[in-house]
Structure 1
């Protein structure tokens, strides 16, 4: 596991004197990062949103702000919505499968089951199927428990309209989200067994661990080699996993709140492999190989609610 560092991108520079605006921003920074990341699925873009939020916050007269947390979330949401609409257009031309940028998360995240579920690869892919405003409303309401009036100010809609959007988004996500949240201990045990099977090339053990309709998504971004389309079915997925080079070293870690594997070649990160488990079987495998999404994987990100 990489060295633990705090998320500092987007925070104002320190000259030894901390003014009230800076102090408040730093206090809420990890929360704002989590909001932006859940809306965008990209740590890089989330950090850019935080920088934009800080620039706007620095010019605010704090005497006019009644609730600094709500105000900062509102600004972050607006900036993230603007960026999300741009990202949506870019992702339409993305080469191959698109996956969220993986986050190396601290062990404490797994203990907050709802938070871990909200930043998991599986959930972020579900959120990707929502329209931008639906995604913002769902994240703010279901994850951060903001009131409809506060959300209305963030997305520039009436509270009544926000309630309707929230209901629609909740139904959409419920129909697509994972059936059951797996306890951390169960997930760690399954990952350990999966790692042994991959390292030994034991195809039968792999077949025993993966669901018949398992799906493997590989994100190379047109830069690294990757399957051009999802690989579906136990036999096909086991065959792909069985071809992992013996020179690859597998390191267990925690990514997006759940156990995952970092694959290294010659000491360099080659792939981050996250798994999704349902009813004791692996139903989803998410392999991020795009090097542009792996530059931060050795730095822990602090996500919070």
Structure 2
């Protein structure tokens, strides 16, 4: 059999195996495709049993995928736990996550909020904050401590804004372990605030 025939013959079997393991049609299709791409890139002569090789490869790829999802879930839980832990240490303890994010928006200036969230929740150091926002480390440090001070002030008399889009970016950053979309959202808030001043 040529390569096209092998792919045609084993694709349904591999897809069934992948789907039974990952329980998601799109992920299963991606894993099977990646398995075939890798198989096509190696020396076929070294494979004694093509069917067994492909089954083992797709199974391993599925297990790696599931491990990756588990780690991302753990990171999400850890990030949310850090946020909740901090809120418990302030007078935001009685608030749920949605309300807490609204309080951050209501009480903090955009740059304060950006520095605070990236440092407190995503563990950015001052060097990374300096590079992200093009601000000196000392300035970032001041912004962070100013934000903490503001958050510890009375919260009962503030109007809470709509933060649904921001909250989605925040949750995605926690869930996928990549804060780039959240950083863009934070920078957009900063730029909007600057443009309103002029």
The TM-score, its normalising length taken from structure 2, stands at 0.35
Which structure is higher in helix share? 2
Which structure is higher in strand share? 1
Between Structure 1 and Structure 2, whose CA radius of gyration is higher?
2
- Structure of higher RCO (CA pairs closer than 8 Å, 6+ residues apart): 1
The TM-score, its normalising length taken from structure 1, stands at 0.23
